[in-house]
Amino acid sequence: MILMKNIILFLTIFMTSALAKGAVTEVTAPVPADAPQAAQEAPKPVTWKLDARLTDATSGVITLTAVPAAGWHLYGTELPAGGPQATKIDLSKSTGITLEGAPKPSVKPVTVADKLFDMTLNWWDKPVTFTVPFKLKQGARTARIKAEVNFMACDDNTCAPPVTETLFKSVRTK
Give CA–CA dist 80/52, Å, rounded.
31
DSSP character for 9?
A: H
Instruction: Tell me what pLDDT residue 41 has.
Output: 56
First and final C-alpha spacing in the chain: 57
Instruction: Tell me what pLDDT residue 174 has.
Output: 67
pLDDT digits (tens, 9 = 90+) for 53-108: 999 999 999 999 999 999 999 999 999 999 999 999 999 999 999 999 999 999 99
Q: Which amino acid is at 125?
A: D
| Domains assigned to the chain | 43-172 (2.60.40.1250)
Instruction: Tell me what pLDDT residue 32 has.
Output: 45
| Average pLDDT of the residues of the chain | 83
pLDDT digits (tens, 9 = 90+) for 101-130: 999 999 999 999 998 899 999 999 999 999
DSSP character for 168?
A: E
